């Protein structure tokens, strides 16, 4: 009987080793997943090859729910969560921690359980938004949801929990808190909520910056040269490109909407042109994707006017 209690206590203190290793691997995959999305949103990484269509990924990641603050994408929060899971999973496995290993292992299992449960519940909220609100498919988002759920299951299996009642009680409280917080957050950011600005959801975000004479002259030159910029209403980088010009200059540009559900779209033209990323510029018959500095557009188009942009 004494040996059984000792074995049970040791298991409760340290849990199992193999789930930690699996969780570390899954967390690393999650870091690559969310890290790639974050770097792309910050313009530090090129276009991602999104299975089942890149438009869906871009539409989801550039939606109203894709950003926490001005320049902080939601994927960055996910990246921090996966890094936390990785650290909690491997910390008790590091050498030189034998003296307090049992206590550290027990505490990290509680941390893994709480973090992974919160990630799984919040991922469920995000997947619900993807299906019912945004109505697009994002492979990277689904992958993150599967990883989060897998991490939660492993934390339950691997913790060697003796007091399941306490585990379930804490889990329910945390899940309800995250669920309520997630639903409130989603509701606040919902463009269709009562009291939100009544903008056409299929229309591009209005440009707010004011054009200088040089920017307006460049836009008029590009239009006279037959230059075209292909955009999508949900594309954050397209909006950034337009803000570089200002609202008066954008009005002078030839802007083609490529999203099939976008306002006044010419999706078939974009498809026939082979447009794969947004924004894409067509100048003198050459198609080039990505946000372009105004100086580069001036050089590509042979603009000879003022460059005081």
* H-run or E-run covering 68: strand 67-69
Confidence class for position 5, pLDDT limits 50, 70, 90: very low
> What angle in degrees, to the nearest 10, is found between the helix axes of 74-90 and 101-128?
160
Round to whole Å and give the CA distance between 95 and 258.
Answer: 55
CATH level 2 (architecture), domain 213-301:
3-Layer(aba) Sandwich (3.40)
Specify the CATH architecture of the domain 2-189. Up-down Bundle (1.20)
CA distances from 20 to 25, 80, 92, 166, 191 (A): 9, 18, 9, 21, 41
Spell out the residues 6+ positions from residue 238 whose beta carbon is closer than 8 angstroms to its own. 204, 231, 232, 278, 279
> Is the pTM higher than 0.75?
no
With 0-12 CB in 10 A as exposed, 13-18 as middle and 19+ as buried, what is 280? buried
Distance (Å, whole) CA 85 – CA 157? 16
pLDDT, tens digit, 9 for 90 and up, residues 68-111:
876 788 999 999 999 999 999 999 988 876 667 788 899 999 99
Same fold, 2-189 and 213-301: no
How many angstroms from the chain centroid is the CA of residue 56?
Answer: 12
Closest to 217 in 3D by CA, of 256, 254, 253, 255: 253
Looking at residue 196, its pLDDT comes to 52
> Given pLDDT bands bounded at 50, 70 and 90, which one contains residue 66?
confident
Gap between the Cα atoms of 225 and 215, Å rounded: 15
With 0-12 / 13-18 / 19 or more C-beta atoms within 10 angstroms meaning exposed / middle / buried, residue 122 is buried
Question: What residue ranges do the domains of the chain occupy?
Answer: 2-189, 213-301
- Binned at pLDDT 50, 70 and 90, residue 1 comes out as very low
What three-state secondary structure class fits 189? helix
Q: What is the pLDDT of residues 178-207, one digit of tens each?
A: 999 999 999 988 877 655 554 556 677 889
Least confident of 37-46, 129-138, 228-237, 261-270: 37-46
């Amino acid at each position: 009987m004494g040996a059984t209690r000792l074995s049970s206590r040791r298991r409760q203190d340290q849990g199992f080793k193999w789930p930690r290793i699996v969780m570390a691997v899954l967390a690393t995959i999650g870091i690559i997943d969310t890290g790639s999305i974050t770097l792309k949103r910050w313009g530090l990484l090129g276009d991602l090859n999104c299975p089942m269509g890149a438009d869906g990924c871009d539409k989801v990641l550039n939606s109203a729910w894709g950003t926490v603050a001005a320049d902080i994408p939601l994927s960055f929060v996910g990246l921090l969560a996966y890094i936390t899971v990785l650290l909690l999973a491997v910390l008790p496995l590091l050498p030189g921690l034998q003296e307090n290993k049992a206590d550290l292992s027990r505490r990290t299992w509680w941390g893994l359980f709480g973090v992974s449960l919160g990630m799984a519940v919040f991922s469920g909220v995000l997947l619900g938004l993807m299906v019912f609100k945004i109505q697009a498919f994002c492979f990277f988002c689904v992958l993150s949801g599967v990883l989060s759920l897998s991490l939660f299951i492993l934390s339950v299996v691997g913790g060697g929990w003796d007091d399941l009642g306490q585990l379930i009680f804490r889990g329910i409280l945390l899940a309800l808190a995250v669920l309520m917080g997630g639903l409130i957050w989603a509701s606040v950011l919902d463009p269709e909520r009562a009291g939100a600005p009544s903008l056409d959801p299929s229309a591009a975000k209005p440009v707010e910056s004011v054009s200088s004479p040089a920017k307006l002259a460049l836009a008029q030159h590009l239009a006279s040269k037959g230059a075209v910029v292909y955009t999508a209403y949900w594309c954050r980088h397209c909006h950034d490109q337009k803000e570089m010009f200002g609202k008066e200059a954008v009005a002078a540009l030839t802007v083609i909407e490529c999203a099939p559900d976008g306002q006044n779209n010419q999706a078939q033209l974009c498809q026939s042109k082979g447009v794969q990323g947004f924004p894409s510029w067509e100048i003198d018959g050459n198609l080039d994707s990505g946000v372009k500095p105004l100086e580069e557009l001036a050089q590509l188009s042979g603009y000879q006017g003022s460059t005081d942009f």
